[in-house]
């Protein structure tokens, strides 16, 4: 338990604990920062934090999985680099909450622990941000609703960490629930839940591969989308973002974009249309159609957005040929990472092992996998009774 770990690390008991789940991007790849809709699922694995007040003005961070401590002055801190950069996630949230009016009469010691598999596309960064936010609010008796907490996490990652993400990760971590998908209208930042049918399971296959330029590639795709929208404003000045432009309109004005920008924009517009089609199919309990749309989403990532890699494609192709699999696609930003498979309950360990065996035969190295289910959203936890 994180309380016991906290005592080991800091020599005293925590005053507040909080947790937030990782998330799987169900469908809506890169639509969030383009103002489109997206569907995500909060999983049953999470990041937990524990905090207690200090008597000085220092904020000190420790990790259950690493040695050492990172300390800053809460009255004057800036983004950290190198081995200390992991603390930028809770520091960015702290900065945003201070800006929102949270009082900080004293410093604190924070411990973070996680059972989220590294590099598996579950957005541990957003979970860390949301868990930190709820931990701070518990320690300093400050209140924010779920939507505002998600916005705080997103701003922390944009402004302090320096990643131009949308609100997908933080929104799903905040609003997730058991047996539910989270739908986010990213333009209006509206959050709702869709009920999943019974017997829906998630299997995550992790390639453990990351493109060495993943951060710069993410930023490049962001810039390409902004440029595509800028060019499309000439014929469509009313379109405030790419999500408001249909695939038919893109085709009509393809000459304005050129091949690369057209394909980037086509992925975004197509994803927005697929999200709405998935919502409609879920309303009918039609998981076969949902699965087809997931496969289509991955193909668009491969061809149009070019944020897949051969390792991800091989996994998706193998899953497409497997029984009891409704659909599969890369999950997260892409350029490596993991594939999400949506299956029924008859897909099991032996089936997953066949997938990774095919992967190893192709690439000469193993992929890992795990099974997960839906889980609750971020919250302040309860300390054990003494």
Share of the chain above pLDDT 90, in %: 84
Give mean pLDDT, residues 147-167. Answer: 91
pLDDT of residue 215: 74
Say which residues have a Cβ less than 8 Å from residue 314's Cβ, sequence separation at least 6: 358, 359, 362, 363
Q: Is the pLDDT of residue 311 over 80?
A: yes
Topology at the third CATH level for domain 201-372:
Alpha-Beta Plaits (3.30.70)
CATH of domain 2-197: 3.30.230.10
Domain borders along the chain are 2-197, 201-372
pLDDT more than 70, % of the chain? 97
Please say if the pLDDT value at position 301 is more than 90.
yes
Element (H, E) at 109: strand 108-114
Q: Which of 169, 177, 199, 255 is catalytic?
A: 169
* DSSP codes joined into one string, 317-343: HHHHTSTTEEEEEEESS-SEEEEEEEE
DSSP 57-99: SEEEEEETTS-S-EEEETTB-----GGGGGGHHHHHHHHHHHH
- Cβ pair 150, 186 in contact under 8 A: no
Known catalytic membership, residue 215: no
């Amino acid at each position: 338990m994180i309380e016991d770990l906290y005592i080991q690390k800091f020599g005293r008991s925590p005053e507040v604990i909080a947790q937030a789940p990782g998330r799987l991007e169900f469908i809506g790849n890169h639509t969030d920062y383009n103002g489109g809709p997206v569907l995500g699922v909060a999983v049953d694995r999470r990041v937990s934090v524990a905090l207690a007040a200090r008597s000085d003005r220092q904020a000190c961070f420790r990790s259950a999985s690493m040695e050492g401590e990172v300390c800053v002055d809460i009255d004057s801190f800036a983004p950290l680099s190198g081995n200390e950069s992991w603390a930028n996630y809770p520091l960015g949230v702290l900065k945003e909450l201070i800006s929102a009016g949270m009082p900080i009469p004293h410093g604190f010691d924070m411990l973070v622990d996680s059972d989220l598999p590294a590099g598996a596309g579950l957005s541990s960064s957003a979970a860390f941000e949301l868990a930190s936010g709820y931990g701070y609010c518990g320690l300093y008796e400050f209140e924010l609703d779920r939507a505002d907490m998600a916005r705080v996490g997103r701003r922390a990652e944009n402004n302090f960490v320096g990643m131009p993400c949308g609100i997908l990760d933080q929104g799903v971590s905040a609003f997730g629930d058991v047996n539910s998908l989270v739908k986010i209208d990213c333009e209006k930042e509206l959050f709702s839940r869709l009920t999943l049918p019974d017997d829906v399971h998630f299997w995550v296959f992790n390639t453990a591969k990351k493109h060495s330029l993943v951060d710069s590639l993410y930023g490049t795709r962001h810039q390409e989308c902004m440029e595509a929208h800028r060019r499309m404003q000439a014929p469509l000045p009313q379109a405030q973002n790419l999500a408001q432009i249909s695939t038919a309109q893109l085709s009509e004005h393809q000459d304005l974009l050129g091949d690369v920008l057209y394909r980037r924009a086509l992925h975004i517009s197509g994803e927005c249309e697929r999200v709405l089609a998935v919502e409609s199919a879920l309303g009918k309990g039609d998981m076969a159609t949902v699965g087809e749309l997931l496969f289509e989403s991955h193909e668009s990532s491969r061809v149009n957005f070019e944020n897949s890699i051969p390792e991800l494609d091989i996994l998706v192709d193998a899953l497409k040929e497997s029984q009891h699999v409704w659909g599969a696609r890369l999950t997260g930003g892409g350029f490596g990472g993991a594939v999400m498979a949506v299956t029924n309950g008859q897909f099991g360990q032996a089936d997953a092992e066949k997938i990774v065996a095919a992967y190893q035969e192709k690439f000469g190295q193993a992929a890992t996998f795990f099974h997960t289910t839906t889980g609750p959203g971020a919250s302040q936890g309860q300390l054990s009774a003494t």
